Amino acid sequence: MSRPRPQPGSSPGPQPGVAASPLLLQTKAALAAARPALGAPVVLVPTMGALHSGHRALLAAAREQAGPDGSVIVSVFVNPLQFRPGEDLDRYPRTLDDDVAMCASEGVQAVFAPSAAEMYPGGQPDVTVNPGPVGQTFEGEFRPGFFDGVLTVVLKLLHQVRPDVAVFGEKDAQQLMLVRRMVGDVDLDITIASVPTVRDADGLATSSRNRYLSAADRAVALALSRGLRAGAAQGPLGGPAVLAAAEKVIRGEAGLTVDYVAVVDPRTFGPVAPGYAGPALIVVAARVGSTRLIDNVPVVLAAEPDGRDTEGQASDAADH
């Protein structure tokens, strides 16, 4: 199952310019058998596959974190636990051959791509991770049970792979915050690293779901990134001005059905306190036809011109 790591000067190694294929592991037993031969540190990138340029940035960051002796392992698993009936579980794109090819080109050592039956042999598990109150807001409000499903599969993957580092995208900011919180709350000795959102040249955040969009849908979807940019530009005027500018663009696009637009404290995902100054996130979720997209951008809020600088109060509030 395992392939020894090439030693300097050893041969035959991969030919220059020819990417070595990663190990393809499809069972927990195969993963367990291959795991001891993976050089440390082991860096995990959890994905649902249909890999695109955003995932590629995670793979490159993971390769960097792993260093010359470490290993990158990518999981490809469309997790049924995080989809509700009527969502796109069945039509979610599955492109394993292309995914493995991208992993090869990014120097990934192993791809773990289990089936749903392999991950959930008893079907729906009885014991799942409760994401707590932040798991009920924003994505959790519009997709009930979503974060229970996400955190359950992430915790399973962390136990199965036992990585030193796991890499997540800032594109899914609430997920990233909740993974960090879970790792802290249950005392996992794993470093969570994050990678800024990758966008296409027109501004649309890359996503496996973008392939559902027609050209007309895509033109509508661009209001999301345009609105986020408009909002971020108002940072010096404070939170309400940021939100107003983002909403004007996003809610002004008739083709979008908006679930939420909000300015949140990235540490808590709660609303920023009135007069708060400091780092924040503008978050948005909306549907274009039947395709649901999420996006966010960081923004630094200045105290509102006639407001108080309450950064200290906001931090205190975040600690409780």
In the complex, minimum distance from the CB of residue 129 to ligand AMP, in angstroms, rounded to a whole number: 16
Would you say 198 or 286 has its CB closer to ligand AMP?
198
List binders of ligand AMP among 34-63 (CB under 6 A).
Answer: 47-48, 54-55, 57-58
Contact 52, 211 (CB under 8 A): no
Active site residue 159: no
The H or E element spanning position 285 is: strand 278-288
For ligand AMP, the closer CB: 171 or 267 = 171
Residue of the chain from 62, 157, 192, 205 that contacts ligand AMP (CB under 6 A)? 205
Size of residue set near ligand AMP by CB under 6 A: 17
DSSP code, position 172: G
Which residues in the 175-204 window bind ligand AMP by CB under 6 A? 195, 197-198
Count CA atoms within 13 Å of residue 220 on its CB side: 21
User: Going residue by residue from 138 to 177, which x/- string records binding to ligand AMP, judged by CB under 6 A?
Assistant: ------------------------------xx-xx-----
- Of residues 55, 88, 79, the one with CA closest to residue 198: 55
Cα(191)–Cα(150) distance, integer angstroms = 18
Residue 260 has, within 13 A of its CA and on its CB side, a CA count of 15
Binding of ligand AMP at residue 114 (CB under 6 A)? no
| Cα separations in angstroms, 294 against 76, 182, 239, 286 | 21, 22, 20, 7
User: Any contact of residue 291 with ligand AMP (CB under 6 A)?
Assistant: no
Residues engaged in binding ligand AMP (CB under 6 A) = 47-48, 54-55, 57-58, 168-169, 171-172, 195, 197-198, 205-208
- Catalytic site residues? 55
